[in-house]
Amino acid sequence: MKNRILAGLLAALLMVVCILAIPAPAASAQEAATEETAAEPETTETPEPTLPPVSTEKPTVPEISDPLPDVDIHSWEFTLCNSYNSRGWITCQRGNLEGIGIDERIQEAAATLMADARAAGYSIYVARAYLNTEWLENMYLTTLWVCNYDPVLTARSFQGPGVSEHQTGLAIDFTDTIGHAANYEYQFEDPEIFDSELYAWLMEHCADYGFIFRYPAEKAPWYGVSCPHAHFRYVGVEAAKFMVEHDLCLEEFISLYDPDAVYVPDNGRLA
Ligand SMILES: [Zn+2]
Number of Cβ within a 10 Å radius of residue 8: 20
Q: What's the CA-to-centroid distance between 203 and ligand 1, angstroms? A: 15
**Domain residue spans in the chain?**
2-37, 76-261
Question: What would the mean pLDDT of 32-60 be, rounded to a whole number?
Answer: 53
Topology of the domain comprising 76-261: Muramoyl-pentapeptide Carboxypeptidase; domain 2 (3.30.1380)
Higher-confidence residue: 147 or 180?
A: 147
Distance, CA 15 to ligand 1 centroid (Å)?
31
What is the C-alpha to C-alpha distance for residues 48 and 199, in angstroms, rounded to an integer?
29
List pLDDT tens digits, range 198-209. Answer: 999 999 999 999
CA-atom Rg of the chain in angstroms: 23
Ligand 1 centre distance from Cα of residue 166 (Å): 6
| CA 231 to centroid of ligand 1, rounded, Å | 4
d(CA 62, CA 56): 18
CA 194 to chain centre: 13
DSSP single-letter state for residue 51:
P
Ligand 1: centre distance to CA 184 (Å): 11
Confidence tier at 23 by pLDDT (50, 70, 90): very low
The alpha carbon of 171 and the centre of ligand 1 are apart by a number of angstroms equal to: 7
Q: How far is the CA of 232 from the centre of ligand 1 (A)?
A: 7
Confidence band for 267, pLDDT divided at 50, 70 and 90: low
Q: What is the pLDDT of residue 40?
A: 53
pLDDT over 60 at 242, yes or no: yes
Under the banding of pLDDT at 50, 70 and 90, the label for residue 159 is confident
Distance CA(208)–CA(210), nearest Å, equals 6
Close Cβ partners of 262 (under 8 Å, ≥ 6 residues apart): 80, 85, 222, 251, 254, 255
Q: How far apart are the first and last CA of the chain?
A: 20
172-216 tens-digit pLDDT: 999 887 765 544 544 445 667 788 899 999 999 999 999 999 998
What spacing in Å lies between the alpha carbon of 22 and ligand 1's midpoint?
42
Q: For residues 221 and 250, is the Cβ–Cβ distance under 8 A?
A: no
Question: Which pTM value belongs to this model?
Answer: 0.75
90 closest CA partner among 188, 37, 159: 159
**Of 163, 95, 154, which Cα lies nearest the Cα of 126?**
95
Residue-wise over 148-172: b if at least 16 C-beta within 10 A, else e?
A: eeeeebbbbbbbbbbbbbbbbbbbb
Q: Give the whole-angstrom CA distance, residue 197 versus residue 136.
A: 30
Ligand 1 center from residue 224 Cα (angstroms): 15
